[in-house]
Structures are given as structure tokens and as C-alpha cells.
């Protein structure tokens, strides 16, 4: 019996490894047309956001293709339904982390920038434009999170601990944006600091995902808040300093790692 369990576990790991590699290759391949259009046009959808940003739908498309191959149209429907799987979030206190963590981080970033002597203006936040940003960025977040959270992270967690899986996915997620960042002329130093924050945010997102019974809706909401708070940062994110924000996010992530079981990224007192 013990040998059968070990054999099954090994088989699951091998299957998940193959699916993971295929998913990433497919997601990157699907993004190529958007990256090419970005090179040709150099158009920004909004300040700091190149045409390449439309590649956010590619992780979802990659996941849908693989799910269709595995389970047909029914599998695709099941995956899409996870866009609004808010019923998985039993402990409503998680909405505090989901909706307020990024505003807190960005507010703290604003204060630090002010303390450092940079003459940063106050943010201008208007209800209707902010609501529009929330809708826009939530839809865009689903394009990514149905792939990153709804599909590939579980396969990665079949092969390694949640902490390592989230770290690896965070690195890949960062690399996925590099060409787009280059198209809006971000410096190497800027991208390096931004990458630190991106990896930290992915660890936070997997922490949220695993503690909300694997809710894609939860991670998409958090992803939405990342982009909304960036655009609301003065002026349209032009004063955003990845050195400061990423350092704060890294401290948040270290706190999570210390308090959680690295295998599951759930609280150490949990026996799940």
C-alpha cells in the first residue's frame, strides 16, 4: 500500500510538471503578437501601460486550451465559473487583506517618499473614474489569474511547497512583463526593484489563495487592487517608486513566511 501511494504521488508530480511546462510555453507563445504590436506602435493604453498589457488574457487562454484538452467544454465552463467563486471565502475577514493591504502599502510608500523630501503631490481620487479603473483592472486580472491561480499554481504545488511554488511563479510572472516594461522605457534598475515587489506580491497572492479555499475571485480582487492603487498613485503612477514599495512588500512577505507553514502558506497552528 505504501509503495502504491508513493507511485501515485510520483505520477501526479510528473504529470503536473509536464502540464506546468506546457502551460508556461503556451502562455508566453500566445503573448508574442501583443508584444510585436507594442514594438510597432509604441502606444500606451494609459500612462505606463503599453499595448503589450493586452497579453493579460494569454494565461487564461492557455489554461482554457489545456482544460479543454483534459475535460472538454465542461472543464472550460468550470474554470470560467471560478471567476466569481466568492463562496469559497468562508472567513470574510480575508476581505481586509484582499482589499486593504495594497492601499495600506501604497499609502505607506507615499508617506516614505514625502519623508525623503520628494515633492510628491496629493493623489486625486474621484469616485466614477476609480470605479471604472476597478472594473477594467478586475477584468484584466481575471485574464491572468484564471491561468496563474485557477490553473497552474495547483500543479506547481503538487510538485513543491506553496512557498517555493509562489516564489517560482512570481519570478515567471515578473519575466512575463519584462518586454512590456521595456516598451515604456523602464530602466534596468527600475525593473529589478519592481521584480522584487512582483515576486513578493505573488507570494502574498498564493497565501490569500490557499487561505480562501483556493478562490480565484480573491486573487483577482487583490490583483485588481495592485493596479488600481498604482494608477491612483500621483500622478497616474508617475511618482511610484519601486524601491520603496517593493521593500515594504518584501517586509510584508517575510512576516507571512515567518507566521505560516512554508508547505501550505497557512498559519502554523493550522493542521490543514
pLDDT digits (tens, 9 = 90+) for 159-207: 999 999 999 999 999 999 999 999 999 999 999 999 999 999 999 999 9
pLDDT at 82 over 80: yes
pLDDT at 1 over 60: no
Which whole number is the average pLDDT over 38-60? 87
**Interatomic CA distance for residues 63 and 66, integer angstroms:** 5
pLDDT at 271 over 80: no
The predicted pLDDT at position 16 comes to: 85
Which whole number is the average pLDDT over 60-69? 97
The predicted pLDDT at position 246 comes to: 98
Asked, for residue 84, whether it belongs to a domain, the answer is: yes
Give CA separation, 261 vs 103, 191, 258, in Å: 26, 30, 8
The predicted pLDDT at position 260 comes to: 96
pLDDT in tens, 101-133: 999 999 999 999 999 999 999 999 999 999 999
The predicted pLDDT at position 272 comes to: 41
Helix (H, G, I), strand (E, B) or coil at 261: strand
The predicted pLDDT at position 10 comes to: 58
Let me know the angle formed at the C-alpha of 238 by 233 and 243, rounded to the nearest 5 degrees.
85
Structure confidence at residue 13 as a pLDDT band (50, 70, 90): low
The predicted pLDDT at position 14 comes to: 57
The predicted pLDDT at position 47 comes to: 79
pLDDT in tens, 218-262: 999 999 999 999 999 999 999 999 999 999 999 999 999 999 999
The predicted pLDDT at position 6 comes to: 47
Asked, for residue 272, whether it belongs to a domain, the answer is: no
H-helix or E-strand spanning residue 46: strand 44-46
The predicted pLDDT at position 5 comes to: 43
Q: For the CA atoms of the chain, what is the radius of gyration?
A: 19
Q: Is 72 exposed, middle or buried (0-12, 13-18, 19+ CB in 10 A)?
A: exposed
Range of the domain at 216: 2-267
H-helix or E-strand spanning residue 45: strand 44-46
The C-alpha cell that represents 152 in the structure block: 497552474
Averaged confidence pLDDT in the chain: 92
Asked, for residue 216, whether it belongs to a domain, the answer is: yes
**Interatomic CA distance for residues 54 and 35, integer angstroms:** 9
Look up cell 480562501; give the residue.
Answer: 212
Q: Count of domains in the chain?
A: 1
The predicted pLDDT at position 22 comes to: 97
Amino acid at each position: 500500500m505504501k509503495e502504491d501511494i508513493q507511485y501515485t504521488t510520483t505520477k501526479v508530480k510528473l504529470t503536473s510538471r509536464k502540464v506546468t511546462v506546457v502551460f508556461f510555453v503556451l502562455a508566453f507563445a500566445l503573448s508574442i503578437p501583443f508584444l510585436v504590436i507594442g514594438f510597432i506602435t509604441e502606444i500606451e493604453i494609459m500612462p505606463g501601460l503599453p499595448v503589450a498589457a493586452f497579453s493579460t488574457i494569454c494565461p487564461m487562454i492557455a489554461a482554457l486550451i489545456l482544460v479543454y484538452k483534459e475535460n472538454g467544454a465542461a472543464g472550460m465552463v468550470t474554470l470560467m465559473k471560478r471567476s466569481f467563486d466568492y463562496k469559497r471565502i468562508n472567513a470574510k475577514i480575508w476581505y481586509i487583506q484582499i482589499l486593504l493591504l495594497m492601499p495600506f502599502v501604497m499609502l505607506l510608500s507615499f508617506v516614505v517618499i514625502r519623508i525623503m523630501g520628494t515633492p510628491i503631490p496629493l493623489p486625486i481620487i474621484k469616485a466614477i473614474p476609480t470605479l471604472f479603473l476597478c472594473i477594467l483592472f478586475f477584468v484584466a486580472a481575471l485574464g491572468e489569474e484564471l491561468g496563474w491561480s485557477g490553473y497552474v499554481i495547483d500543479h506547481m504545488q503538487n510538485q513543491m511547497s506553496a512557498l517555493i511554488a509562489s516564489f517560482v511563479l512570481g519570478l515567471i510572472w515578473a519575466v512575463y512583463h519584462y518586454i512590456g516594461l521595456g516598451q515604456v522605457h523602464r530602466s534596468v534598475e527600475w525593473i529589478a526593484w519592481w521584480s522584487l515587489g512582483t515576486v513578493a506580491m505573488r507570494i502574498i497572492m498564493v497565501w490569500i489563495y490557499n487561505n480562501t479555499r483556493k478562490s480565484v475571485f480573491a486573487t483577482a480582487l487583490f490583483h485588481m487592487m495592485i493596479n488600481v492603487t498604482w494608477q491612483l498613485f500621483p500622478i497616474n503612477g508617475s511618482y511610484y517608486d519601486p524601491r520603496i514599495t517593493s521593500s515594504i512588500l518584501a517586509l510584508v512577505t517575510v512576516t507571512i513566511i515567518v507566521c505560516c507553514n512554508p508547505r501550505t502558506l497557512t498559519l502554523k497552528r493550522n493542521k490543514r
